[in-house]
Amino acid sequence: MHHRFWLIRHALVHPDALNYLYGTNDVAICSTTMAADAHRYAALAARLPRPARLIVTPLSRTHFTARALFAAGYPETPWEVEPAFVEQNFGDWQGVPIGEFANRPAAERHPFWPIAAAEIPPGGESFAEMVERVGTSLEHLTHSEARDIIIISHGGAIRAACAHALKLTPHQALSLAVENISLTRLEYNGSDWRLVVLNEQIATCV
3-200 CATH pick, 3.40.50.1240, 2.40.30.30, 3.30.2290.10, 3.10.580.10? 3.40.50.1240
CA proximity to 5, closest of 128, 129, 139? 139
Region 100-129: mean pLDDT is 88
Question: How far is 88 from 132, CA to CA, in rounded Å?
Answer: 12
Domain boundaries, the chain: 3-200
Asked if pLDDT for residue 47 goes beyond 60, the answer is: yes
Region 76-101: mean pLDDT is 95
* Tens of pLDDT, residues 136-164: 999 999 999 999 999 999 999 999 999 99
Question: Which residues neighbour 142 within 8 Å (Cβ) at sequence distance 6 or greater?
Answer: 1, 3, 188
Mean pLDDT estimate for the chain: 94
Cβ atoms of 90 and 118 within 8 Å: the answer is: no
Residue 50: band (very low, low, confident or very high) from pLDDT cuts 50, 70, 90:
very high
SS (H, E, C) the chain: CCEEEEEEECCCECHHHHHECCCCCCCCECHHHHHHCHHHHHHHHHHCCCCCEEEECCCHHHHHHHHHHHHCCCCCCCEEECHHHCCCCCHHHCCCEHHHHCCCCHHHCECCECCCCCCCCCCCCCHHHHHHHHHHHHHHHCCCCCCEEEEEECHHHHHHHHHHHHCCCHHHHCCCCCCCCCEEEEEECCCCEEEEEEEECCCCCC
Residue 111: band (very low, low, confident or very high) from pLDDT cuts 50, 70, 90:
confident
Residue 60: band (very low, low, confident or very high) from pLDDT cuts 50, 70, 90:
very high
> How distant, in Å, are the alpha carbons of 29, 32, 104, 186, 204 from that of 158?
19, 25, 26, 10, 24
Select the more confidently predicted residue: 101 or 25: 25
**pTM for the whole structure:** 0.95
* Residue 63 pLDDT: 98
Put the strands of the sheet holding 3-9 in their side by side order.
79-81, 53-56, 148-153, 3-9, 183-188, 193-200
* Residue 110 pLDDT: 85
